[in-house]
Structure formats: C-alpha cells, structure tokens
Amino acid sequence: MEENISLEHLKLDHTQGLYDLTEANREYLRERLPWLDQIKSSSDTRKFIESTITEYSSSGAQNFAVLYQGLICGVVGFHELNQQHKIGSIGYWLAQNYSGNGIITTATRKLLEIGFSKFQLNKIEIRCAEPNIKSRAVPERLGFTYEATLRDCEWLYSQYVDHAIYSMLASEYRSLIIK
C-alpha cells in the first residue's frame, strides 16, 4: 500500500485535478474544513496553489498533492514554519472515497521526515476539529502527544468548533524511527 502513495509539490498542473476533487467532495469536506466557500472555480484553486508556491519560496513551508496510484486524492502540507522557534504545523485533507486506507497517515509520516530532517524542526503540531475523529486518529496513530483543547477557535460555517492540539518533538520522532 505504502508504495502506492506519493507526494508531489503542489504546482499549477494540479489546478484542475485538485478543483475537481474539491467539487466532488464539497459536501463531505464542508463538515470539516472552513475554506470551501472561498473555492468557487478552478481559478480559485489556482490562486491557492500560487499562494502555496509563494509561501514555499519565502518561508519553505511546503504543500503537496497526495497521490494514490498516481491519482490526486488530497493535500498535505505545512500551514506554518516558524524557523526561529523551530516549530511547524501540519494540515491535511483527503477525498472521501480514499478515506480509511492509511493514505493520510502515510503522507503525514513523510511530512514528519521533511520537517524533522530537512527543516530541523524541534516540534510539529497538528490541530484537528475536536469532533473530527478521523482527522484526530492520524496524529494518534503516529505517536503524537495530545496537548490541549482550544475552545471555540474555528468558525465552521454555522458554529464554532474546538480544536484538539497534538504535537511531536524531534527527540520523540528520533526514538520512533529507531525502533
């Protein structure tokens, strides 16, 4: 399974495929992600990809298309890289019909390698809407530590949701990969 999962830097060539994936999963993703109303056309997806390319060139924060058997099925990347404090924050989403196969867990594991090796981060965080059990399972499977719940920290269309905050330290990551 893992050999069928790869990451590609988000690039303009992904625009239509990523937009089509977003459209096909709009109702499913709307339960979890607050940005869907900002994506109304493929040109909006293009603007998002352009912004991630700019962010990468300025701060190094990378976003990737997640591919399963060569087909785009989601996105994973760094929301933020704070080089001064050596902290990064990861986010991800996956199309509904790919969910439950370990794809995002594998993609996130690959991102941990980038964060702890390439960027020499000391800490990587993942924030998940508290009711999003599938999203929370990813850091839990990867050995992250639950740190806290931030109350009412994200407006999700009609209500505020709490976020569960998970983190992993570089020392914890090294001990996991040595085992």
Name the β-bridge partners of 74.
66, 94
Q: Are strands 159-169 and 123-129 parallel, antiparallel or unpaired?
A: antiparallel
- pTM score, two decimals? 0.91
pLDDT value for 158 = 87
- Decide: 127 and 149 in contact? Cβ < 8 Å: no
How far is 100 from 108, CA to CA, in rounded Å?
A: 14
Q: What number does CATH give the domain 2-178?
A: 3.40.630.30
The closest alpha carbon to 91, from 149, 27, 32, 158, belongs to 32
How far is 116 from 123, CA to CA, in rounded Å?
A: 8
pLDDT tens-digit map of 89-98:
999 999 999 9
pLDDT tens-digit map of 91-147:
999 999 999 999 999 999 999 999 999 999 999 999 999 989 999 999 999 999 999
How far is 37 from 40, CA to CA, in rounded Å?
A: 7
